[in-house]
Structures are given as structure tokens and as C-alpha cells.
């Protein structure tokens, strides 16, 4: 059974937010994953990262953010 993904927003190149947490860092998605796990979220939860109205990447497990998959840009 798959778990519902956490929905995160990439606000800028250095800022991301999810679940009431806003993180500013050189790699905000990885920092956000680490913070979520630190705050008690299940490290096996996936996370989809959105920028504006499009998903841009998916983290398969927030406990292992290095397994992130990026969406290919489409169209011109």
C-alpha cells in the first residue's frame, strides 16, 4: 500500500516549505527532508516538490533525499 506524498513548495532556489515548515538553505529540498524526519515525520514518506503549479521533483523517501527524481521540462 502506497503512502500519500507530502506536498512541498519550492519558493525559490534556496527556500522550500512543507507541513508548516519553511527552510532556507543551499539545498532546500534536502534540508526540508532532514527537518521533517527530525520533527518526527515517517522517514519512508515520499514527497512531491512543486514550483508554482507544476511538480518538479519527487523524493521517494524523505529519510533518503538523495534518491530524488527530477521531472523533465516539457515544451518550450
For 5-54, write each residue's pLDDT tens digit. Answer: 999 999 999 999 999 999 999 999 999 999 999 999 999 999 999 999 99
User: What confidence tier does 75 reach under pLDDT thresholds 50, 70, 90?
Assistant: very low
Phi, psi of 31 (to 5 degrees): -65, -40
How much is the pTM? 0.85
Structure confidence at residue 76 (pLDDT): 44
- Residue 36 in 3-state DSSP? helix
Q: What's the CA gap between 55 and 5, in Å, rounded? A: 12
Q: What's the CA gap between 58 and 41, in Å, rounded? A: 17
Amino acid at each position: 500500500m502506497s503512502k500519500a506524498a507530502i506536498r512541498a513548495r519550492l519558493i525559490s532556489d534556496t527556500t522550500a516549505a512543507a507541513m508548516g515548515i519553511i527552510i532556507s538553505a543551499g539545498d532546500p529540498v534536502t534540508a526540508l527532508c532532514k527537518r521533517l524526519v527530525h520533527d518526527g515525520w515517517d522517514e519512508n514518506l515520499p514527497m512531491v516538490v512543486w514550483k508554482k503549479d507544476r511538480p518538479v521533483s519527487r523524493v521517494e523517501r524523505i529519510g533518503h533525499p538523495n534518491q530524488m527524481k527530477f521531472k523533465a521540462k516539457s515544451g518550450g
